[in-house]
Amino acid sequence: MTSLGPQALRGLKVLELGTLIAGPFAARILGEFGAEVIKIEAPEGGDPLRNWRKLHQGTSLWWWVQGRNKRSVAVDLRRAEGQEIARTLARHADVVIENFRPGTLEKWNLGYDQLSRDNPGLVLVRLSGYGQTGPYRDRPGFGAIGEAMGGLRYMTGHPDRPPARVGISLGDSLAGLYGVIGALVALQHRQANGGKGQIVDVALYEAVFSMLESTLPEYGMTGFVRERSGGALPGITPSNTYRCKDGGWVVIGANGDSIFRRLVTAMERPDLAADPGLASNSGRTAHAAELDAAIEEWTGRHDLEDALAILHRAEVPAARIYSIADIVRDPHYAARGMIETARLRGGEDILLPAVVPKLSATPGGTRAIGPDLGEHTAEVLREAGYDDQRQRELRDKGVIR
């Protein structure tokens, strides 16, 4: 972790009520740029993400990233006294983020009507599988379901195999990013236009659906349904994954007209460069299978490193397919500072992804790794007016930890 200068969101107060991925990811982004994030967790176990995937000394390695720059307050929101604590903290917040099933906050007496009564400028970011309205609103929905309903899974994979998924919870993360965008837009409205706070309603499936590029107008105008296409980018030619002589794979994106000419010149195929039928993307797309075969015939005569060297000299966009091991070893990642090293409380080092995007004057960063469960309960409640005696009473009742 490095020493941080001024940060763009310093002074912004965020109350996170969510668990797992979408809500906590949104709060994490705000915290990375200086916002003060208070995360409320259940006293028993806390956020389930603390126990997901690979663990180190009983704590998820993912948690140290997802929980960074946050203060953990362990409060039972199912109890009336815990709900009152949440309302007290929300009175001083700019943004509240939650990703429970619609109606849960209202059941806990934490709906927007209650929260905004004492804080009319409050922005409430609500992330859920299907949104706060509509016939599916009460259904549970994770990122995988959003990717399926949002149309992404249908187009992912090879034509002769079942629909596939990427190896991360993409739908959750996309929804979290839209939650951040919505929060910042609502805050700008509040500041610039004298507006009050408002609700930001993000549905996971809609966040995914918004990524589908031209598929909707294509279907609406022509009835065309884009199908799975493996490593190719449909309608953009050539843009595919090709096997090399040593078994490695190279991704080549030579869909620009001048880039295509550079590619086939590097391949020593002047016939393709001179073919007027291949001068534009529409002509190349009509012959996509033939072009892909010609390119793979060329890559099949070269080891991966040799193919990449030729393509880079020709200024053709190309890359190996990186594993996480490749990423850690890559000099460009290092030069851009994209991998941070932090120190765990036990003294071990942990690698963390650096903050994106990079700001020249007010960059984001890691001020602290993910906290222990309830690590900041006492100090946060003290700041909110709960003296030591009241905290002991709440702790004895199991309301806080």
Is 349 part of the annotated catalytic residue set?
no
Name residue, tokens 């003294």: 347
Q: Is 291 exposed, middle or buried (0-12, 13-18, 19+ CB in 10 A)?
A: buried
- List 172, 271, 306, 349, catalytic entry: 172
Query: Rounded to an integer, what distance in angstroms lies between the CA atom of residue 271 and that of residue 13?
Result: 62
CB 20 within 8 A of CB 172: yes
The gap from C-alpha 31 to its chain's centroid, in whole angstroms, comes to 14
3-state DSSP of the chain: CCCCCCCCCCCCEEEECCCCCHHHHHHHHHHHCCCEEEEEECCCCCCHHHHCCCEECCEEHHHHHHCCCEEEEEECCCCHHHHHHHHHHHCCCCEEEECCCCCHHHHCCCCHHHHHHCCCCCEEEEEECCCCCCCCCCCCCCHHHHHHHCCCHHHCCCCCCCCCCCCCCHHHHHHHHHHHHHHHHHHHHHHHCCCCCCEEEEEHHHHHHCCCCCHHHHHHHHCCCCCCCCCCCCCCCCEEEEECCCCCEEEEECCCHHHHHHHHHHCCCHHHHHCHHHCCHHHHHHCHHHHHHHHHHHHCCCCHHHHHHHHHHCCCCEEECCCHHHHHHCHHHHHCCCEEEEECCCCCEEEEECCCCCCCCCCCCCCCCCCCCCCCHHHHHHHCCCCHHHHHHHHHCCCEC
What is the set of active-site residues? Answer: 172
